Amino acid sequence: MRLRTALLATLLASVAGGFASADARADDDGGTPLASVQVNVLKTFPNLPADAPQGVWYGLPAGKGHGTGCGLILRGDKTIVPLVEPGEDGEWPSCMGVTDATTFDWHGRPVYVYRYLQRDTRADTYTYDAFVRVVKGGIEGMAELKPDDEPPRLSLTKAAAWAKASLAAVEIGAAGFAPSTRDTLLADRGFLVVGRSAATGSCRIVVARLAAGAPLAPPPAGCKSILATTSLSTPQSDWLLAMTEGADGRPQVRVFELGASSAREASDIELKLAPVAAGGKVLAVKAELKRLLEK
């Protein structure tokens, strides 16, 4: 069984904010004093802003065990917000480093995704992602996200897409639309979330890029059910498709293109796909989209 010691979605009331290790090797502010550990790596990531938290990989003082910890620290700060710290035996779990990081925009503010390796035994090492943002008090975890719900084996960019899609799903849920986890689409450039309101008999679709910019959120349309979703990636764009059963019982398709610098609903493509979509077979629609793009 995987042992996850970092409480990744817990907001602390302390000044430092952020994560807390399940083991009490932190100071009263919920962090690890930088001067109390032997820093192995203080790592910045070229794709993050200069003021983003740095990844820290550190060892305990001599005689305290051979396990290593890792965490995040703001430039100029003296307290590490821990992701993983060794347990009472000073050995397990042990962090093998913060290996990569990326970011996405959420309502005009950056959210940072840090990937790290946690070793629970000599034979068992697992990959985890931490989702944080910088606030006035320091670093805080995204309480709206539940990292244990993250699908396994996602690339880092798709982990960011999952996180942003999850946040969007919370919002459409609050608006009365039950988001369909099964039909959520994750892509390297963004995501698609679709939900249905039984009360109004309508569906709502939200599509957004990971980068800054307003999401595409067409007005809710009448639909009896969500039929399927699918995606198709090309070097230039990610194409996200949602098929629903219209209020008249007929299948209909919505098509969205996420490009390198913009997003759009591809109404021109929707018209061309409509005859195939009428058959209600999403794989046939995807095949026709591929044919159109290769012309």
Mean pLDDT per block of 10 residues along the chain (295 residues) reads 36 30 40 92 93 94 83 95 88 93 97 96 94 94 91 96 98 98 97 98 98 95 97 97 97 97 97 98 98 94
**Structural tokens at position 280:** 């209600």
> The whole model's pTM is what?
0.89
Tokens 């007005």 belong to 219
For residue 295, CA distances in Å to 260, 266, 292 come to 21, 16, 5
**Structural tokens at position 54:** 């740095």
**Structural tokens at position 276:** 């195939």
Question: What is the torsional sign of CA 232, 47, 262, 228?
Answer: positive
For residue 255, CA distances in Å to 147, 148, 181, 238, 287 come to 29, 31, 19, 10, 14
At residue 65, the pLDDT reads: 76
Burial category of 293 from C-beta neighbours within 10 Å (exposed 0-12, middle 13-18, buried 19 and up): middle
At residue 17, the pLDDT reads: 31
| Residue of 204, 208, 184 lying closest to 262 (CA atoms) | 208
N- to C-terminal Cα separation, the chain: 50
**Interval 94-116: pLDDT, tens:** 999 999 999 999 999 999 999 99
157 near 210, Cβ under 8 Å? Answer: yes
Beta partners for residue 244, in sequence order: 226, 252
110 CB-near residues (< 8 Å, 6+ apart): 49, 52, 103, 104, 133, 134
DSSP states along 149-191? GSPTT--HHHHHHHHHHHHHHHHHHHTT-EE-STT-EE-SSEE
Please give the sequence-ordered ranges of beta strands (E in DSSP) within 2-108, or none if there are none: 32-33, 38-43, 54-59, 68-73, 79-84, 94-106
